[in-house]
Structure 1
Amino acid sequence: MDLGLKGKKAILVGANGGIGRKVAQAFAAEGCDVAICGRSQEKVDKVVGELSPSGVKVYSEALDVTDVAAVPAFVEKAAEDLGGCDIFISFTSANPGTDTDDCWETILKTDILPMRRGIEAALPFIEKSDAGAICCISSTGAVEEFMGVQPYNALKAAVMNYSSTQAQALAPKGIRVNCITPGPVFCEDGPWAYIKENMTEFYDSIMAQIPTGKMTTGEELARTIVFVSSPAAGGMLGANIVVDAGMTKRVQF
């Protein structure tokens, strides 16, 4: 299937590792130019090196997404360097795991606000695209109990609502907005690799909830995100796509 991504431009915030890295690789494999950023220059450079053989144009920066000006400035520079923006996705995330004011503020500053600021900055460029798409990343922690009372789950639920309302607001401008809701995703440089090695009992308890007996891989999730963001999924907007290997048990109406 031709996803129609060759020559398109994707700006990815927080794609210097984990799921974002896999998505950057998948976009590049489809011939899509890519902009990536992340906190670590070393990790950013590593991903750039991985993308280079694909022959696509790559723009990169190391930055702190909690800096109010950082993500909008990155989007502006990336769009200028790539020659526009067709697709925007933010992958930044944090989960301190406790219900305190500090944790709420950490997640807002690290996850929610960089996404919102990035979308706002990208919109003037995406409006000029003939295949404009925005993908918001939520979590199955938002739809079923997961690790107790914590702001991460509540704020990831807010991402679903934000994505849905943005989809309705931006559809008349030809921009599709969708939400992807992953369960646990295993990447070799992601948190579940660490948990597997260092928190064995917790890891095993999560695996016991997955009927397939395996976590979704970063590559599997990346292919879903890239398809939903591509012109091949042109009729899909306002959707919430759960990718969790069957971990959540609710009926997905």
Structure 2
Amino acid sequence: MTGDIAAAQTIGSATAATDEVPAAKTIDSATTATDDIPAAKTIGSVTAVAGDIADPADLDRLYDAVRARGKGLDIVFANAAAGSFASLEETTAEHFDQVFGTNVRGTLFTVQKALPLLNKGASVILTSSVRADDGLEAFGTYSASKAAIRSYARTWANELKGRGIRVNVISPGTIDTPVLEKAVGADKVDEARASFAARVPLGRMGTPREVADAVVFLASEQSSFILGANIYVDGGEKQF
């Protein structure tokens, strides 16, 4: 599905809008001007930095803003994503570079550049996907990129445990975001929702808030004994 950056932004905004974690919240969007980030208007005290996760210079600007606050980072949620359908035959270098540039390179350097700012006991949460576990036709590049995120999380959890930093992953399933209507059109969105819901054991699509709640849990002290884990937020989609 195209527009995965917008879907990631919806989940990111839902996470930032929760009030369970008393932390500075920084929003990173590849396509949205700061004034158009909804959560930046509703959270309260927030520093919003718009940029491209795949651009090291933009990441430097982001972390310069964090550094200026002088408090370091307790939480990093690397959530930006890109994806579109392309079969093996249709995959181009440009398609591969876009997907892996955002999902893998972007996530790698988001976390790497945060390292000097991470406080002891910080939590790093990465976003993978249930698509990393299946062979959805014509979605191989996206699926492979999300499998790479899962692999990175295991390694980074091992590398950073000595600093008391926990690295974990969430893998959302079929989540109802505005991207769906944009992808299929307003006249077909109800039919699409019903089709997606039929594949989920709980009989419905998930919500951005449900994904956000899992992120908040991993960011909190309630998950202090969870390290290198992958939490599915999928209504049982990949469990049965």
Does structure 2 retain, via aligned residues, the 8 Å contact 1:136–1:180? yes
Is the aligned partner of 1:48 residue 2:36? no
SS in 2 for 1:47: helix
Deviations 1:71-127 (A, max 9, x none): 13312322422621011111111112113322110012222222111111111111x
**C-alpha deviation, 1:228, in angstroms:** 0.9
Structure-1-length-normalised TM-score: 0.81
Match of 2:21 in 1: 30
Match of 2:53 in 1: 65
Does structure 1 retain, via aligned residues, the 8 Å contact 2:8–2:81? no
- Residue type of the alignment partner of 1:210: V
Q: 1:168 to 1:110 in 2, by over 3 A?
A: same
- Residue type of the alignment partner of 2:179: P
Does structure 1 retain, via aligned residues, the 8 Å contact 2:7–2:179? no
- Residue type of the alignment partner of 2:117: F
Match of 1:9 in 2: none
Match of 2:68 in 1: 80
Is the aligned partner of 1:119 residue 2:115? no
Query: Which of 97, 107, 126 does residue 99 from structure 2 map onto?
Result: 107
Match of 2:221 in 1: 231
Bigger drift between 67-76 and 134-143 goes to 67-76
Structure-2-length-normalised TM-score: 0.86
Does structure 1 retain, via aligned residues, the 8 Å contact 2:25–2:47? yes
Q: 1:93 to 1:199 in 2, by over 3 A?
A: farther
Is the aligned partner of 1:176 residue 2:169? no
Q: 1:193 to 1:149 in 2, by over 3 A?
A: closer
Match of 2:210 in 1: 220
Bigger drift between 195-204 and 212-221 goes to 195-204
Q: 1:15 to 1:232 in 2, by over 3 A?
A: farther
Bigger drift between 81-90 and 222-231 goes to 81-90
Is the aligned partner of 1:18 residue 2:10? yes
State the alpha-carbon separation in 2 of the partners of residues 59 and 149 from structure 1: 34
Match of 1:94 in 2: 82
Match of 1:185 in 2: 175
- Residue type of the alignment partner of 2:144: A
**C-alpha deviation, 1:150, in angstroms:** 2.2
- Residue type of the alignment partner of 1:25: A
| Stretches of structure 1 lacking an aligned partner (at least 5 in a row) | 1-12
RMSD: 2.3
Is the aligned partner of 1:157 residue 2:147? yes
Query: Which of 162, 167, 189 does residue 157 from structure 2 map onto?
Result: 167
| Stretches of structure 2 lacking an aligned partner (at least 5 in a row) | none
Q: 1:199 to 1:142 in 2, by over 3 A?
A: farther
